[in-house]
Amino acid sequence: MLCGTAVLCGVVAALFADVAGANPVRVAALPVVVALLILLVADKRTLFYLIILLRSAGDPVFSLGKFDLGGASIGIGGALNGLVIVIAALFIWQRPGAVPRHALAMWTGFLLVVLVAAIRSPVPGDSIRLFLVQLSYCAVFVTAFYMVRSRADLENCIRVVLLSALVPILYASAQVATGLLAGSVSGMRINGTFSHANVFAFYLVLMVSVVMYVLKGSALQPSPTERRLLWLSLPVLLSFLLLTGTRSAWIACLLFFVLYGFFIQRRYLIYIAVALLAALSIPVVTERVANLASGNEFVQGGSLNSFAWRLSLWESALPWIKAKWLLGHGLDSFLHYSPDFFRLNFFKRASFGVGAHNTYLRLLFETGLIGLSAFLTLFGVLLTMLRRGHQRDRVGTTVSIIVVVAYLVISASDNMEYYLAFNWYFWFFLGLVCASRSVAPDQEPQSSSAGTAARRAPNFGRPVTQ
């Protein structure tokens, strides 16, 4: 048996070395995957902590470690997505009653519609990949209910989410420093460790929201040192958000603070006004805003700005939506069919696929009215779950609801469903908030003494202070 295993391992290693070639990232993939599988068996909670901590820094590595197998691109990122789904499945198998039935039902309905749309898709490989991405969002949301068994667990999970921003911020700082040395920072859009500046921007907005959740809500009780560090992190996060140049993320952040000021602390409306005036004095901001004032109409030799371009794209897609309004054309078909209906500059068709830049229109196109209804139902149930904790943590509940509202608003102008890394943190954070509702105020970790746990655990019943 031992000899057979050794021979098998040798054959697998030889085949893997032939596929990996001289790429060091590919060569390292096999031992990394093996280590992850060992950790999965030994302690899947620790493994999930590690994934959440490091996923924000993974895109540069994942892009270098892809394998081309029969025309399909498979990499460490895809393996990690599968691992997250497996972790969630193992948790559910061990404790099937830990997740509320309505939480599972809201995801099951949506995912079934997406799966049917994937089967009907004209691009089956891409559609199955997108379905698995959507399934991974469900997995991280569900896993939150198994990670939070006590109030101290909630504290640890939130801390890991915030610490995940450390490497992207350091990487973005290096990008800014390099741009300053090259004299080109004014034209740069900082993307940190993410695949695109947009993904980094929405991730930063989420981190700002989580910081506000910790500082202003009553679910957690950070130490004085942690509180000072969190307050100091806010201007850093907001500064890098401006440097991403992502206007939709700016709108999301502005919407977050406006709603927070309106519902929680009115003086924040004054802070927002001052911050807007300061932001408009920054060249990178004024240039991006001024761009929307031009290019609203097509002229020979000119081009449309991003908003007018989106309107033209959406208008071009409407006849196709009406043709199959109930079930749609199949998952990920918008990108596939867009060269057939979208005309660049009104004269020639696009020679490449483009995303819908509107989640609701994409769902109508690909999954029909049934898919859009399932999507809206999913978020409707989510908002109901968040609302149930209002009496225990009024500010924290309001903050989490605002995060969802901002996500839904910005989904009308961006391809939010494709931003995998951001969505993992988005859904994990909301899962943590929902899971915290089922943790009793006096529940303590089983592995800690009563006195130690009382000092570490957040006080759900602490009055809100502003």
The secondary structure of 106-118 as a DSSP string is: HHHHHHHHHHHHH
**Is pLDDT of 425 > 80?**
yes
The count of residues in the chain is 466
Instruction: Please give the pLDDT value at position 463.
Output: 36
Tokens 């990920």, located at residue: 332
Name the 3-class secondary structure at 68: strand
Q: Would you say residue 6 lies in a domain?
A: no
pLDDT tens-place string over residues 118-146 = 999 999 989 999 999 999 999 999 999 99
Residues whose CB is less than 8 angstroms from the CB of residue 6 and which lie 6 or more positions away in sequence, other chains included: none
Last residue of a domain, one of 49, 68, 96: 96
Q: What percent of the chain has pLDDT over 90?
A: 55
Shared domain check, 127 and 80: no
Name the 3-class secondary structure at 460: coil
Shared domain check, 334 and 266: yes
Q: What percent of the chain has pLDDT over 70?
A: 77
Q: Would you say residue 1 lies in a domain?
A: no
**Is pLDDT of 89 > 90?**
yes
Other beta carbons within 10 Å of 221: 18
Q: Would you say residue 2 lies in a domain?
A: no
Shared domain check, 409 and 339: yes
Contact yes or no for 128/118 (Cβ under 8 A): yes
**Is pLDDT of 25 > 90?**
no
pLDDT tens-place string over residues 36-75 = 778 787 889 999 999 999 999 988 877 665 655 444 556 6
Shared domain check, 388 and 284: yes
Last residue of a domain, one of 69, 96, 123: 96
Q: Would you say residue 3 lies in a domain?
A: no
Name the 3-class secondary structure at 69: strand
Shared domain check, 74 and 125: no
pTM: 0.86
Phi, psi of 332 (to 5 degrees): 65, 20
Contact yes or no for 107/142 (Cβ under 8 A): yes
Name the 3-class secondary structure at 244: helix
Q: Would you say residue 7 lies in a domain?
A: no
Range of 19's domain? 12-96
> Can you read off the two tokens belonging to residue 60?
């540069």
Last residue of a domain, one of 96, 121, 149: 96
Shared domain check, 186 and 318: yes
User: Which helix (H) or strand (E) element contains residue 73?
Assistant: strand 72-74
Which among 188, 174, 195 has a CA at the least distance from the CA of 242?
Answer: 188
> For the chain, what is the domain count?
2
Residues whose CB is less than 8 angstroms from the CB of residue 187 and which lie 6 or more positions away in sequence, other chains included: none
**Is pLDDT of 395 > 80?**
yes
User: Which helix (H) or strand (E) element contains residue 348?
Assistant: strand 348-349
pLDDT tens-place string over residues 260-281 = 999 999 999 999 999 988 888 8
Shared domain check, 160 and 45: no
**Is pLDDT of 296 > 70?**
no
Shared domain check, 286 and 317: yes
Instruction: Please give the pLDDT value at position 103.
Output: 87
